[in-house]
Amino acid sequence: MSEKAKIARAAGVVGSATLLSRILGFIRDLVTAYFFGAGMAADAFFVAFRIPNLLRRLLAEGALTVSFIPVFTEYLTQRSRSDAFRMARSTLTVVSMVLSGVTIVGILASPWIVWAFAPGFTHQPDKFALTVLLTRIMFPYIFLVGLVALAMGVLNSLERFAAPALSPVLLNVGIIASVLLISPRVDPPVMGLAVGVLIGGVLQLLLQIPWLAKEKGLLGFGGELGHPAIRQIGRLMVPATLGAAMYQISVFVNTLLASFLPEGSVSYLYYADRIMQFPLGVFAVAMGTAVLPSMSRQAAQNNLEGLRDTFSFSIRLIFFITLPAAVGMIVLALPFVHLFFQRGQFGPADTAATAWTLVAYAAGLIPLSAVQVVVRVFYSFQDTRTPAKMAAISLVLNMFLAVMLMGPLAYVGLALASTLASLVNFILLMVMARRRLKRIDGRNISWSLAKNLVWSGIMAVVVFLIAGVHDPAAPVSSAGLLVRVLGATLAGVAVYFLLAFLGRAPELAAARNLIRRRKRPAVQPEPEGEKGDGPDPS
């Protein structure tokens, strides 16, 4: 199987699992919106959950994964399989010790952490106290998900993508079950949400163990605490903490500023972001996950031409999928929010506010998605400093724009600031990637983007004509709204892919590979101890 086909298939596996996770995530948010609306309890939970969730992306799935995979892949490519597994066991031991310390400190320091994340809550003592309580309950989640992230790095490097991609499904299952079974039995009921996060974390970790156990000599603690690879990973993690998580930090900034806005602002940002995370996670993050092991292997083999080809292919495929998705979300923002969330305590005014926030966020889907691929170029060369520098510039811009726009546009201004900062981050990274790779096939990438823009514009007209103008206050059945939204969405997809077919888009064949099933040939490991041990790179 060619490298492009392998990447597309891996992205398809990750995307399919993520799709299931996103569906359950929306059910989770639907249940949360129904029982807790957009009031004090919901605001408190979203801030409290965002704290360990931000640390998860910064310290675990963000910095740890992108720093570990290139180093582990280098050991698999240039040394023996047993050396690579010994390095993984050493990393597991050190990471467990560090995460234990972070968890203990986080629980003890929760009041100060909540104050830093949402200082506006201090003016409401009950709200502040509830947020602190929920933060303390959920902080051990960072320990659990940190180990899951390390397992994900190992398995992805070994070209096993299913179990890591399925783990978020169990988090959503744990939360949904806890809201239905635990929340009615505790006071305040929102504690059930926090307990559900912990249950989900345990289930995520348990899922990885059977897959790791299939690799002889991989599971277990021990090894060398002073292993040189750990120092190498540590050096990469410091800048990667910022470089791999610019978006999450901008979300933190928005949460902090939104705490000063009218009640419900934090929730509007959260619900809008949840909708945008659907296409971002299902395809863009999946592509970034799939492409990093391939790019890391090509970089370790000094295959610069192959890496350029992989980069161009991945970027063009990202644009091909996410551009129409962004346009579709903008056109269907009101009916989307109404369909997903408007019930129980979540009313028409909440729907309108969340929809405008979604429009501002959706425009940023394209640069956010493309960044998932561009940063992998630098990570594959074990360069985490360049993405960190570009992220620092865009973060400063994000904070400046957020402060400037929150006055006239409130929560919509905060979302727009994130979108503009993401665009700047993408442009800066593309400039630096061109310097690193000497050339990036810019002509084909630009031509592909231009065609996608035209096709997406035509698609938007068709979707609008079918969906019409939506009034969230008008009476409409959920079934009727679902039929209208689904009909407009399917029509838009059909028009876009028909135009791509008529335009002979090369990305269309790659998109088909995302869903095409192929029987994976068994990989026979080479005898341990020989140079070049590891997964077959062909």
More confidently predicted of 329 and 19: 329
Residue 83 lies in a domain: yes
CB atoms within 10 A of CB 508: 14
Give the domain range for residue 450.
3-513
Helix (H) or strand (E) holding 129: helix 125-138
Task: Give which of 536, 537, 525 is closest to 81, Cα–Cα.
Answer: 525
pLDDT tens, 275-316? 887 788 778 878 888 888 888 888 888 888 888 888 888 899
pLDDT tens, 369-419? 898 889 889 988 888 889 888 888 988 899 999 999 988 888 899 999 989
Arithmetic mean of pLDDT, 56-73: 77
Residue 290 lies in a domain: yes
- CA of 428: how far to CAs of 67, 152, 299, 397, 424, in Å? 21, 29, 22, 13, 6
Residue 490 lies in a domain: yes
Residue 526 lies in a domain: no
Confidence of residue 118 (pLDDT cuts 50, 70, 90): confident
Do 273 and 137 form a contact (C-beta atoms < 8 A)?
no
Arithmetic mean of pLDDT, 229-244: 79
Residue 531 lies in a domain: no
Confidence of residue 1 (pLDDT cuts 50, 70, 90): low
State residue 203's pLDDT score. 93
Confidence of residue 491 (pLDDT cuts 50, 70, 90): very high
Residue 283 lies in a domain: yes
Arithmetic mean of pLDDT, 204-227: 77
Share of the chain above pLDDT 70, in %: 90
Distance CA 83, CA 295 (A): 21
**Is the N-terminal amide bond of 140 cis, ω within 30° of 0?**
no
User: Residue 460 has which token pair?
Assistant: 């938007």
Provide the angle, in degrees to the nearest 10, between the axes of the packed helices 348-362 and 333-341: 130
User: Residue 32 has which token pair?
Assistant: 């949360």
pLDDT tens, 65-100? 888 888 888 888 888 788 888 888 888 888 889 889
Query: What is the chain's alpha carbon radius of gyration, rounded to the nearest angstrom?
Result: 23
State residue 105's pLDDT score. 92
Contacts of 114 (CB under 8 A, 6+ apart): 47, 48, 51, 121, 128, 131, 132, 135
More confidently predicted of 315 and 220: 315
- The amino acid sitting at 535 is P
Confidence of residue 223 (pLDDT cuts 50, 70, 90): low
pLDDT at 221 over 70: no
State residue 367's pLDDT score. 92
Cα dihedral: 393, 399, 401, 406 (round 10): 170
Task: Give which of 290, 306, 414 is closest to 360, Cα–Cα.
Answer: 414
pLDDT at 145 over 60: yes
Q: Three-state SS across 370-391?
A: HHHHHHHHHHHCCCCHHHHHHH
Do 344 and 400 form a contact (C-beta atoms < 8 A)?
no
Contacts of 307 (CB under 8 A, 6+ apart): 295, 298, 299, 377, 380, 437
User: Residue 211 has which token pair?
Assistant: 């897959």
Place of tokens 């994900």: 152
Least confident segment among 196-205, 446-455, 474-483: 474-483
Residue 520 lies in a domain: no
Sign of CA dihedral 59, 63, 66, 67: negative
Distance separating the N- and C-terminal Cα atoms of the chain: 7
State residue 538's pLDDT score. 28
**Is the N-terminal amide bond of 188 cis, ω within 30° of 0?**
yes
Share of the chain above pLDDT 90, in %: 22
Q: Residue 347, class by beta-carbon neighbours within 10 Å (0-12 exposed, 13-18 middle, 19+ buried)?
A: middle
Arithmetic mean of pLDDT, 462-472: 86
- CA of 283: how far to CAs of 22, 415, 475, in Å? 11, 21, 34
State residue 395's pLDDT score. 87
- CA of 267: how far to CAs of 39, 44, 470, in Å? 8, 10, 22
- The total of structural domains in the chain comes to 1
Residue 131 lies in a domain: yes
State residue 42's pLDDT score. 83
% helix, strand, coil for the chain, step of 5: 80, 0, 20
Confidence of residue 220 (pLDDT cuts 50, 70, 90): low
Structure letter (DSSP) for residue 120:
G
State residue 217's pLDDT score. 61
State residue 360's pLDDT score. 92
Arithmetic mean of pLDDT, 159-175: 86
